[in-house]
Amino acid sequence: MASLKDMRVRIAATKATQKITKAMQMVAASKLRRAQVAAEAARPYAERMDKVLRNIMRAVGDMASAPKLLAGTGSARRHLLLVCTAERGLCGPFNATIVRLARERATALANEGKEVRFFCVGRKGYDQLKRLHERQIVETVELRGVRQVGFDHAAAIGEKIVALYEQGAFDVCTLFFSRFRSVMAQIPTAQQIIPAVFPDPAADAAAAAAIYEYEPDEEDILAELLPRNISVQIFRALLENAASEQGARMSAMDNATRNAGEMIRKQTLRYNRTRQAMITKELIEIISGAEAL
């Protein structure tokens, strides 16, 4: 049985932990708003980029003459999974859900006889994936110390992905990230970015009715826009991740603070009961000794 001193030390340690989790919750709450605004502001641009590329793709008569980033290599045997996670933990299941989705996709592809490689953005994703897939990780990019993710970070990652594609390292690239919905809900998402995949043009009646003339040719525009679209989609994923991370951390630290409060209550109750029992025992011993005299 723990002594009263041990109990006091334990209560003090739990109170110190509660102060830390409360402070982390407040910091995450202060960062969340800015990250959420940035993520929501990036969505219209990424969606408009998809729409422009979809319209240009419709105007391309022969897909064989289209850039490889759109037409593909003609094979789907080698897959690259671009897994974007956070640099830090203490954010609940945020990192684990993204990695789990990537692992499930890798397992499904491996069962189909496909070759799978990983490109990790974020230290936490790499730490989890290297346990089972260390030999399959082709590169890792860490954004440690970056206060605000910028488009230059996404562009650098996009350039590496395009370079690997041009070298023939993979046929299909899928981006994994967590889409921000609310503080309580972050949705793990998989999006194929190479070759580019767009909704069925026939389903977009308004776009089908519009007729565009392009200068220069459609193929030249696609050759310029497709690499940029990859960077745009990666940038959007990084911003969504940043907002999801802060939301998940805020929720996790709030739960931790509540749990610490409950532990303090139980530990204090146990301490008081133990102390009262010791006092009662001492009183009984004093009374028994007095009666013996």
Closest by Cα among 85, 177, 176, 82 to 127 = 85
Cα separation, 227 vs 142, whole angstroms: 22
91 annotated active-site: yes
Give DSSP secondary structure letters for 208-272.
HH-----SS-HHHHHHHHHHHHHHHHHHHHHHHHHHHHHHHHHHHHHHHHHHHHHHHHHHHHHHH
Chain position carrying tokens 């897939």: 133
Is-cis flag, bond preceding 195, omega within 30?
yes
Active site residue: 84, 91, 120, 173, which one? 91
Q: List C-alpha distances in Å: 204 to 47, 128, 196, 200, 208.
A: 14, 40, 17, 7, 6
Q: What angle do CA 153, 158, 140 make, to 5 degrees?
A: 70
Cβ 204 vs Cβ 210: under 8 Å = no
Looking at the annotation, which residues are catalytic? 91
